[in-house]
């Protein structure tokens, strides 16, 4: 498979676990998890063989890449599952079914049962998990049942039913797996004590249980009961493999918005997560420009409204790393200090901080590139100073009509559009490119002289020797010819011309400095053409209305849009004209038509 240019700089990807999302032009097409995001995402775009047709087709469609950092590969798997269920990407086929990861549930019965389930009904009891491995879950359940006497029947063990001897002990009692609470052979207090001990195992509080097993294993070994010792050793291994609960999915968290922020002097970096029914199904990172003296809290106060509307959140709780006021009094903003809520905020902030790091890195790279290009341009053109401020001129006319010109400005290698200027040619008749160039260069730098503004570090003229000579004449007339470096660029062979030098300079076609000059030239040409077309379009709409004093361009266009021609305007009813453009303007046209008719 040929390597494809990735839509993201692979170097900025983190060496951390997480979930990556691929988008085409319209929608999300694939969600994947990774132990190392940089390696996994890079693998899609590196040249390789033996990949499937599906993967090749997927890579061709990728237009955008997003990612979410998590704490572990286990969390990545769970979040991947949630996002696939939520968005149903077309290239995900393994996790698009209705199945979800299993949980362990401790029921709300008087004598609680402990069982596995994939259902989400929170009113059944307390849920723990989820488990990515059914085997691991079964091992925990098996361990609990071997350690503790927990019932598996579905009897309704109310005080009345037990007192009425409604039930009889079953086989589980006779083989030692149950102590017979159905016949009152085990008290509720003793049963709940064992259930509470089982909770410690499920929650991952394993030290007490491990110590218990180690003690039993040691005792069995001393008694040369190696088979029993091996059994306890296996149980310890089960505990070691057990995955404790995660903040990616925690049924006790219910519906929550998580909003965190970190900032620099000019920008704020925000991460938003939506927890729906205990599951993170949305994570989005944003970059915002900060206004003067705007605090992080003020940013969150305004942003939470927009984000809740965008992602259709109905939660009443917002977790954040900053305490901020919320316009909706029904919402509660919490800055948690401990527990799973604190972990959620830390996870969100981790994504915001990485987004900030990535943005700063990209900005620094951009600055380094701009500096490198202007430094290279100085060397290639043999300039005395770095050309951080460059201005480029171009003319535009068609058969001498509506002659115009443009000047574009680049500062530090980037377009500075607020400094762009366009010119209507005033002193030149007909298609005279040389005369037009001389006029606009003179007008531009005459004004800079009068306003005592800084001159550019380099002037570029779009054209060959003729245009360059004309521009130089203008600078000589102003007395600044020797103060500002000036060059011309000829389109045909991309030759660079110096004043008073007949031999052009050829810069390598691969050079970044030549590409910068070409970018300036092309931008000046685009800006001039746009202005010329605008004037030409206006010039093509000629009407007798132009001769009527007091009728401006806006009124003219309103009338022509409605009546198409002046002849139809003359035939229009006075009342219709008054309704369309007002009494005063209508009177001007009516008087003009009457005067014209009388003549």
What would the pLDDT profile of 424-472 be if each residue is shown by its tens digit? 888 877 677 888 899 999 999 999 999 999 999 999 998 888 899 999 9
> What value does the mean pLDDT take over residues 489-517?
86
Query: Does residue 539 carry a pLDDT above 60?
Result: no
- Cβ 149 vs Cβ 194: under 8 Å: yes
Is residue 369 very low, low, confident or very high in pLDDT (cuts 50, 70, 90)? confident
Preceding omega of 130 cis (within 30 degrees of 0):
yes
Query: Does residue 63 carry a pLDDT above 50?
Result: yes
Alpha-carbon torsion angle 200, 203, 207, 209, nearest 10: 40
3-state secondary structure (DSSP) of residue 158: coil
Q: What is 10-87's CATH topology?
A: GIY-YIG endonuclease (3.40.1440)
Query: Residue 377: which of 548, 181, 513 has the closest Cα?
Result: 513
Residues 6+ apart with CB under 8 A from 433: 395, 463, 466, 467
Please state which CATH number belongs to domain 389-538: 3.30.420.340
3-state secondary structure (DSSP) of residue 369: helix
Query: Does residue 335 carry a pLDDT above 90?
Result: yes
Query: Residue 268: which of 346, 333, 363, 359 has the closest Cα?
Result: 359
Query: Does residue 542 carry a pLDDT above 80?
Result: no
> What value does the mean pLDDT take over residues 27-51?
84
Beta strand pairing status for 458-462 and 486-490? parallel
Query: What pLDDT is stored for residue 1 in this prediction?
Result: 45
> What value does the mean pLDDT take over residues 129-141?
75
Query: What pLDDT is stored for residue 456 in this prediction?
Result: 94
Query: What pLDDT is stored for residue 351 in this prediction?
Result: 92
Residue 38, both tokens:
């940089």
Q: What is the DSSP letter of 291?
A: P
Percent of the chain past pLDDT 90, that is, above it, reads 33
Higher confidence at residue 320 or residue 98? 320
Higher confidence at residue 236 or residue 337? 337
Q: Same CATH fold, 544-598 and 251-358?
A: no
Please give the Cα distance from 324 to 305 (Å, whole number): 13
Q: Which CATH architecture has domain 251-358?
A: 2-Layer Sandwich (3.30)
Q: How far is CA 316 from the centre of its chain?
A: 25
Taking residue 252's Cβ as centre, other Cβ atoms within 10 Å add up to 13
Measured CA to CA in angstroms, residue 343 lies from 90, 299, 349 at distances of: 32, 22, 10
Q: Which pLDDT tens digit goes with each residue over 442-454? A: 999 999 999 999 9
Residue 103, both tokens:
């949980």
Higher confidence at residue 100 or residue 113? 113
Taking residue 221's Cβ as centre, other Cβ atoms within 10 Å add up to 15
**Which phi and psi angles does 277 have, rounded to 5°?**
60, 40
Q: What share of the chain is helix, strand, coil (3-state, %, to 5)?
A: 45, 20, 35
Q: What is 544-598's CATH topology?
A: DNA polymerase; domain 1 (1.10.150)
Please give the Cα distance from 513 to 386 (Å, whole number): 12
Residue 86, both tokens:
């939520």
Pick the range with the lowest mean pLDDT from 197-206, 261-270, 483-492: 197-206
Task: For the chain, give the mean pLDDT.
Answer: 84
Q: Per DSSP, which regions of 221-374 are E strands? A: 256-263, 267-276, 279-289, 317-320, 332-334
Taking residue 539's Cβ as centre, other Cβ atoms within 10 Å add up to 10
Write down the domain spans for the chain.
10-87, 103-206, 251-358, 389-538, 544-598
- Cβ 414 vs Cβ 370: under 8 Å: yes
Is residue 543 very low, low, confident or very high in pLDDT (cuts 50, 70, 90)? low
**Which phi and psi angles does 236 have, rounded to 5°?**
-65, -40
> What value does the mean pLDDT take over residues 24-31?
89
Query: According to DSSP H, which parts of 295-338 are helical?
Result: 296-310
Query: Does residue 177 carry a pLDDT above 80?
Result: yes
Determine which helix (DSSP H) or strand (DSSP E) holds 579, and give its type and residue range. helix 574-581
Please give the Cα distance from 80 to 84 (Å, whole number): 6
Give the up-direction half-sphere exposure of residue 399: CA atoms within 13 A in the CB hemisphere. Answer: 1
Taking residue 522's Cβ as centre, other Cβ atoms within 10 Å add up to 15
Query: What pLDDT is stored for residue 58 in this prediction?
Result: 86
Please give the Cα distance from 436 to 238 (Å, whole number): 86
Strand partners, 104: 116, 128
Query: Residue 273: which of 258, 254, 261, 260 has the closest Cα?
Result: 258
Is residue 478 very low, low, confident or very high in pLDDT (cuts 50, 70, 90)? very high
Strand partners, 260: 271
Please give the Cα distance from 395 to 16 (Å, whole number): 53
Please give the Cα distance from 267 to 340 (Å, whole number): 29
Rg over CA atoms, the chain: 38
Query: What pLDDT is stored for residue 599 in this prediction?
Result: 62
Query: What pLDDT is stored for residue 242 in this prediction?
Result: 55
Residue 524, both tokens:
């000046």
Query: Does residue 49 carry a pLDDT above 70?
Result: no
Query: Does residue 196 carry a pLDDT above 90?
Result: no
What is the pTM (predicted TM-score) of this model?
Answer: 0.54
Q: Which pLDDT tens digit goes with each residue over 243-265? A: 445 555 666 777 899 999 999 88
Please give the Cα distance from 14 to 36 (Å, whole number): 7
Please give the Cα distance from 140 to 388 (Å, whole number): 68
Preceding omega of 66 cis (within 30 degrees of 0):
no
Query: Residue 408: which of 491, 523, 494 has the closest Cα?
Result: 523
Query: Does residue 277 carry a pLDDT above 90?
Result: no
- Cβ 362 vs Cβ 372: under 8 Å: no
Query: What pLDDT is stored for residue 97 in this prediction?
Result: 53
Q: Which pLDDT tens digit goes with each residue over 303-319? A: 888 888 878 888 899 99
Please give the Cα distance from 250 to 520 (Å, whole number): 56
């Amino acid at each position: 498979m040929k390597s494809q240019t990735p839509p993201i700089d692979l170097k900025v990807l983190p060496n951390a676990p997480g979930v990556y999302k691929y988008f085409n032009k319209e929608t999300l097409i694939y969600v994947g998890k990774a132990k190392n995001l940089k390696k996994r995402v890079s693998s899609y775009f590196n040249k390789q063989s033996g990949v499937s047709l599906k993967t090749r087709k997927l890579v061709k469609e990728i237009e955008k890449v997003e990612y979410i950092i998590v704490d572990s590969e286990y969390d990545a798997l769970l979040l991947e599952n949630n996002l696939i269920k939520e968005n149903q990407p077309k290239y995900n086929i393994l996790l698009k079914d209705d199945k979800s990861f299993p949980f362990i549930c401790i029921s709300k019965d008087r004598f609680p049962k402990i069982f596995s389930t994939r259902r989400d009904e929170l009113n059944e009891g307390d849920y723990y998990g989820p488990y990515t491995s059914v085997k691991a879950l079964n091992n925990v359940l098996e361990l609990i049942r071997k350690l503790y006497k927990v019932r598996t029947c579905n009897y309704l063990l109310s005080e009345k039913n037990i007192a009425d001897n409604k039930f009889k002990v079953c086989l589980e009692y006779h083989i030692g797996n149950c102590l017979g609470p159905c016949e009152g052979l085990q008290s509720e207090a003793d049963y709940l004590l064992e259930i509470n001990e089982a909770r410690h195992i499920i929650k991952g509080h394993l030290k007490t249980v491990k110590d218990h097993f180690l003690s039993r294993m040691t005792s069995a070994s001393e008694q040369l009961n190696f088979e029993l010792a091996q059994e306890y050793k296996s149980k310890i291994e089960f505990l070691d493999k057990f995955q404790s609960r995660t903040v990616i999915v925690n049924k006790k968290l219910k519906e929550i918005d998580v909003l965190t922020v970190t900032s620099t002097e000019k920008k704020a970096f925000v991460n938003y997560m939506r927890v729906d029914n205990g599951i993170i199904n949305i994570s989005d990172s944003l970059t915002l420009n900060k206004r003067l003296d705007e605090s992080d809290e003020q940013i969150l106060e305004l942003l939470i409204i927009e984000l809740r509307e965008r992602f259709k959140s109905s939660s009443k709780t917002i977790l954040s790393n900053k305490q901020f006021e919320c316009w909706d009094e029904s919402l509660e903003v919490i800055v948690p200090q401990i527990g799973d809520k604190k972990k959620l905020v830390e996870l969100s902030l981790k994504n915001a901080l990485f987004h900030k790091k990535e943005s700063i890195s990209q900005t620094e790279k951009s600055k380094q590139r701009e500096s490198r290009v202007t430094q290279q341009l100085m060397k290639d053109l043999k300039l005395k100073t770095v050309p951080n401020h460059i201005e480029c001129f171009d003319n535009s006319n068609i058969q001498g009509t509506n002659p115009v010109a443009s000047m574009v400005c680049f500062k530090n290698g980037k377009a500075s559009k607020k400094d762009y200027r366009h010119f209507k040619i005033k002193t030149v008749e007909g298609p005279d490119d040389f005369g037009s160039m001389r006029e606009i260069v003179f007008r531009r730098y005459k004004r800079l002289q009068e306003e005592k503004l800084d001159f550019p570090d380099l002037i570029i003229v779009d054209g060959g020797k003729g245009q360059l000579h004309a521009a130089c004449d203008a600078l000589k007339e102003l007395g600044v010819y020797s103060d500002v470096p000036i060059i011309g660029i000829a389109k045909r062979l991309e030759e660079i011309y110096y004043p008073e030098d007949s031999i052009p300079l050829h810069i390598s076609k691969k050079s970044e400095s030549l590409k910068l000059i070409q970018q300036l030239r092309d931008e000046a040409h685009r800006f001039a053409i746009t202005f010329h077309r605008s004037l030409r379009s206006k010039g093509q709409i000629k009407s007798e209305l132009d001769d009527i004093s007091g009728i401006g361009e806006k009124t003219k266009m309103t009338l022509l849009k409605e009546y198409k021609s002046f002849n139809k305007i003359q035939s229009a009813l006075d009342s219709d004209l008054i309704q369309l453009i007002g009494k005063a303007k209508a009177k001007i046209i009516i008087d003009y038509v009457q005067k014209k008719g009388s003549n």
